[in-house]
Amino acid sequence: MDYYFYSIIILSCGIFFDTLHSLYYYSKYYSDFGIFSIDFMFRKSNKDFYSKLFVFFKPLINNKTFCYLLILRLILSLLLIVFVENTYYLIFVVFVIQLLFNLRNRVALSGADQMRTIILFGLSIISINNNFFFEVGSFFIIIQLYISYFFTGYNKLKSPVWRNGNALIWVLNSNLFGNKIIQKKLIDQGQIFNIALCWGVILFQITFPLLASFSHTVVYVLIIGIIFHTSLAALCNLNDFFWSYLSSYPLVYFFSIKFNICDYLNIF
């Protein structure tokens, strides 16, 4: 269960900082005149499924009570960081709060929010504290991670902007993820360097499922993954991706070592 606890701690750190951010900017985001005001969100929802969900859960996610929900989320994440061995069963409550958080922030969700929700669901399964459910929950998380990496890399491979090396320069020029200083340095390095960098990202994401499945290569690809997500967090402010994706790494390592594909295939 140690790897499970490591995953909870890493993910809870991301939830803790994300909740602090939401509380700090609460009046800007969630007040009656905020950009995520419940009235605005309700108008943006469809007139079928989402409208019914909003009506049903509105007492929990309205502009006033949602603040208390965030405070509870903050407290639970802190408990899971400090006292994980005694409070790991609370992860299911955090998962439920995450679902309400997703509903409240529906128009502003990112891939990191989706991955966080997936991992929380898998960790909730593991919290049943049974070997069978540990393997089922871990396998679910790992498969979802592999799918995310592979198809993200595959979509980049299909993009001419990524293949010709201009993608990172364009990303760093955007208002949301921009970094003019790093962008200028990349331009100064020349086209060949940027092509190599873009193709490095593509190859890392596409080959991650394969390399992470072999015990002889898992450590190396996870180190590359840590460097990759740390760079994105530092340069593009993609902090949620850092915590969400890296929280799955302890389970990836555990499964790679336990179910050593190399032994079955008689390689290495």
161 in a structural domain: yes
188 in a structural domain: yes
pLDDT 10s digits, 85-135: 888 889 999 999 999 999 888 877 888 999 999 999 999 999 988 888 998
115 in a structural domain: no
pTM (two decimals): 0.88
Q: CA 101 to CA 72: how far, in whole Å?
A: 12
133 in a structural domain: no
**Segments forming the whole domain that contains residue 97:** 1-109
pLDDT 10s digits, 152-172: 999 999 999 999 988 888 888
- Please tell me whether residues 30 and 79 are part of one structural domain: yes
Q: CA 176 to CA 12: how far, in whole Å?
A: 25
Number of Cα atoms under 13 Å in the Cβ half of residue 18: 24
Counting the structural domains of the chain, the total is 2
